[in-house]
Amino acid sequence: MNGVTKLCCSAFIYLSTLSPIVSASNCDNQADNELEKLYCQIITQNTKHQLPSLLDFRKNTEQMQRLLIKRDAKKLGLSLPAKKQDSSKAKPARPQRENQSSLTTNQPKSRKTEPKGEVQNTNSRRLSSCRLNKAYINCATTRFTLQTNKPNSSLHNTALSAANTLLFSNNKNSDTQYLNQSYLTYIDKMMLIGLGDSTMSYTKFHKLFTQNKQNRHQFSQRFNELYELLKKEKQSMAIRTRYNDQYPASIKQCMKVNNKLIICDNVQQNWIYISSKH
């Protein structure tokens, strides 16, 4: 195992201790519908799949779930189940990206009373004038640039030192506000140690907190332990600028958090774009 792979894997092995994992062996017992049963068949028969966890898979609309497993199902000769009749009328569709409805942006506070589906539409309007061009997102007079992993030589001289810690502020805000603020702190800290291409999505960040029912102090401590592990390994291991050459497929996979930051993800991968003005 080379240094790049080891750095990437060890961090996520550590993260796996924060939340329960649905393995291929017990996946079928967890499946609630035909699409989830097919998902379980795929991960059982193809151990090299790149599908999200069952828990993340469930966060997508039925249409997105079908897109996620369509290719793997075809390779294995498996057929997708028939679409539900009038499923779109039975209940409002959940946003394709959990973090779009949860991560606080600079939208008016009145959004609290809006249905979840409206949040995504509002964000889409905020990015409607923006154009995605792989490593750049151009919005009117502002350009946002994709963040990558950086060599240690380009970091601040204290970035990998013991003085740089990742601790979340334990204020009296609601859990949602706490997680929103903590996630932005996490993103900033990952940028500081040059791991712009190695961040987790807000969906996973939120899941790690809620599934374990951790108190805020425990949650902060576990992430600080992870951060220390990443700093230590980055000091001694080589790292690639990017782990693959993929980009967001559409601006609809992105959300503008503030005037400095746009975050995109497709469940499996996270992309961070920072304004060149900042």
108 and 62, same structural domain? no
116 and 55, same structural domain? no
Boundary of a domain, candidates 51, 68, 90 = 90
Boundary of a domain, candidates 32, 59, 90 = 90
**Confidence at residue 104, expressed as pLDDT on a 0 to 100 scale:** 57
Alpha helices (H) in the chain, listed in sequence order: 3-16, 24-30, 34-45, 54-57, 62-75, 87-90, 98-102, 116-126, 175-192, 202-211, 216-236
Boundary of a domain, candidates 42, 72, 90 = 90
195 and 116, same structural domain? yes
CA distance 103 to 258: 11
**Confidence at residue 214, expressed as pLDDT on a 0 to 100 scale:** 65
Asked whether residue 3 is domain-assigned, the answer is no
Asked whether residue 242 is domain-assigned, the answer is yes
224 and 138, same structural domain? yes
**Confidence at residue 18, expressed as pLDDT on a 0 to 100 scale:** 43
**Confidence at residue 233, expressed as pLDDT on a 0 to 100 scale:** 87
166 and 139, same structural domain? yes
221 and 86, same structural domain? no
Task: Give me the residue label for tokens 């949040």.
Answer: 119
Asked whether residue 6 is domain-assigned, the answer is no
75 and 192, same structural domain? no
Domains held by the chain: number: 2
Q: Listing from the earlier edge strand, what are the strands of the sheet with 261-265?
A: 130-133, 136-139, 142-146, 270-275, 261-265, 254-256
226 and 119, same structural domain? yes
Taking the chain (278 residues) in runs of 10, the rounded mean pLDDT of each run is: 47 45 61 88 82 76 85 90 62 46 51 39 66 94 95 94 93 84 95 94 85 79 91 88 93 91 90 84
192 and 165, same structural domain? yes
178 and 61, same structural domain? no
136 and 252, same structural domain? yes
Task: Give me the residue label for tokens 């940028």.
Answer: 191
CA distances from 118 to 94, 110, 233, 239 (A): 10, 12, 42, 40
Asked whether residue 150 is domain-assigned, the answer is yes
**Confidence at residue 174, expressed as pLDDT on a 0 to 100 scale:** 85
Asked whether residue 211 is domain-assigned, the answer is yes
Asked whether residue 9 is domain-assigned, the answer is no
Which residues does residue 265 pair with via DSSP β-bridges, in sequence order?
270
**Confidence at residue 246, expressed as pLDDT on a 0 to 100 scale:** 94
CA distances from 210 to 55, 74, 162, 206, 207 (A): 12, 34, 29, 6, 5
Q: Which domain holds residue 244?
A: 97-275
101 and 84, same structural domain? no
C-alpha closest to that of 274 among 129, 102, 139: 139
